[in-house]
Amino acid sequence: MSDPLLHHGGNLAAARARFGDGDWLDLSTGINPVPWQIPEDLRPDLGVLPAPDALAALEAAAAAHFGVAPAQLCAVPGSEMGLRLLGMLLGGRACHVVPGYRTHGAVFADSMPIAAGEPVPGNATLIFANPGNPCGTLHSRGDIQALLHSRTLAGGWLVVDEAFADPHPSASVAPLVDDRRRLIVFRSFGKFFGLAGLRLGFVLGPRSVLSRYRRVLGDWPIDTTALAIATAAYRDGPWIDAVRIALPQRAAALDGVLVAHGLEPSGRSPLFRLIEHDSAPMMFDRLARAHILVRPFDYAPRWLRFGIPNGEDALRRLDEALGNV
């Protein structure tokens, strides 16, 4: 059986089972540590089925945030589920860029791992994340447009997972989605808004693809609570603007702590940082014994990914723990 702490971040249950109960600081995910605050008067009626107009309102609010027409967008109960449905709905063979999300390799039954920049054979679908995870590599919109052109000429699809793209609106290719392009984009709600337990994502693409999703998902794909919370959050422009300023500042503060301990952080996502070090396994173990959980990788033992701490106390705690490594 594989190690659950190597499978994905956020597995506090496995961390507690191995290292004991206590006051854990979870830095193993790339989730905004300061979530959007749900208003106290936002009380969805759970006694009735989700209303079609509520789904339409959510998709309109999300579309405005992404810079795409509402007709080019379909809400799904989590972007991971949307990705896992894609292979069944689109068919064919694919290539997924590694290192990257483990899910990307499971989307298509016939999928081959390739390195970034490696040629994609024939008309295969190409799947990659922007920003990348766990490396945090960020490609410009122009670079992805060129890649889309080459995939289109070959008769293939380009699938861009933009789960961490909210802090980088100028790099997102969501505005390029339309019925004429072989482009599909996935977006996630929970990471930027800090509400990962609310399973909500979006598929952006040609209406011919979205209609297949809607047939599979049925009449009530999103629950009433998610509809109400996410619609209000996407409409909160001042909060979104403030977070796009605050997250890079928080990431810079984390960088300062890591550098002070001889670690070189990399990546351009303000939601996480990656470090590479010979003693990464020992560092993970020592931090976990101090009840600080970071993200190790089975395929890259020298890597650790650090999520962004929430405030000075969390930074100080990480600083002290790294001093004891």
| CATH number for 309 | 3.90.1150.10
Cis peptide before 99 (omega within 30 of 0): yes
Residues 144 and 68 in one domain: yes
The predicted structure's pLDDT at residue 1: 44
The answer to whether the CB of 267 falls within 8 A of the CB of 274 is yes
The predicted structure's pLDDT at residue 7: 78
Residues 82 and 165 in one domain: yes
The total number of structural domains in the chain stands at 2
The identity of residue 215, as a single letter, is: R
Residues 208 and 267 in one domain: no
Is the residue at 207 inside a domain? yes
Residues 11 and 157 in one domain: no
Which of residues 212, 235, 258 is at a domain's end?
235
Query: What are residue 110's phi and psi, to 5 degrees?
Result: -115, 90
| CATH number for 98 | 3.40.640.10
Query: Using CA atoms in the order 163, 167, 172, 175, what is the torsion angle rounded to 10 degrees?
Result: 100
Residues 105 and 198 in one domain: yes
The answer to whether the CB of 82 falls within 8 A of the CB of 76 is yes
Q: Give the distance, in angstroms, between the CA of residue 60 and the centroid of all CA atoms in the same chain.
A: 21
pLDDT by position in tens, the chain (length 325): 478 887 788 899 999 999 999 999 999 999 999 999 999 999 999 999 999 999 999 999 999 999 999 999 999 999 999 999 999 999 999 999 999 998 999 999 999 999 998 999 889 999 999 999 999 999 999 999 999 999 998 899 999 999 999 999 999 999 999 999 999 999 999 999 999 999 999 999 999 999 999 999 999 999 999 999 999 999 999 999 999 999 999 999 999 999 999 999 999 999 999 999 999 999 999 999 999 999 999 999 999 999 999 999 999 999 999 998 7
**Strand, coil or helix: 254:** helix
Is the residue at 91 inside a domain? yes
Residues 90 and 26 in one domain: no
DSSP per residue, 99-152? SS-GGGGGSSSSEEEEETTPPPPTT-EEEEESS-TTT-----HHHHHHHHHHHH
Q: Could you give the strand order of the β-sheet that contains 111-115, starting from the edge strand earlier in sequence?
A: 73-76, 201-204, 183-188, 158-161, 125-129, 94-98, 111-115
Which of residues 203, 219, 235 is at a domain's end?
235
Which of residues 195, 217, 235 is at a domain's end?
235
Q: Which domain holds residue 27?
A: 4-35+238-323
Measure the CA–CA gap between 262 and 293, rounded to whole angstroms.
19
DSSP per residue, 300-317? -TTEEEEEPP-HHHHHHH
pTM of the model: 0.95
